Amino acid sequence: MGNEHVSEQFFLDKLNDAKVHFERALDCKHTDFDDLYPYMIEHPQFFWYKRYVAWSELLTIVKLCDELGYAWAGQFTMHQVNYVRNRVMSSKVLDYWYETNDSKKHVEQ
Q: Which residues contact 82 (CB under 8 A, 6 or more apart)?
A: none
Q: Which residues contact 106 (CB under 8 A, 6 or more apart)?
A: 20, 23
Judge residue 70's burial from the number of C-beta atoms within 10 Å of its C-beta, 0-12 exposed, 13-18 middle, 19 or more buried: middle
Residue 106's pLDDT band (cuts 50, 70, 90):
very low
CA distances from 40 to 35, 53, 58, 78 (A): 10, 13, 21, 34
For the ranges 41-50, 68-77, 88-97, which has the lowest average pLDDT? 41-50
> Domain spans of the chain?
26-108
58 or 103: which leads in pLDDT: 58
Residue 4's pLDDT band (cuts 50, 70, 90):
low
| Proportion of the chain above pLDDT 90, given as a percent | 51
**pTM (predicted TM-score):** 0.80
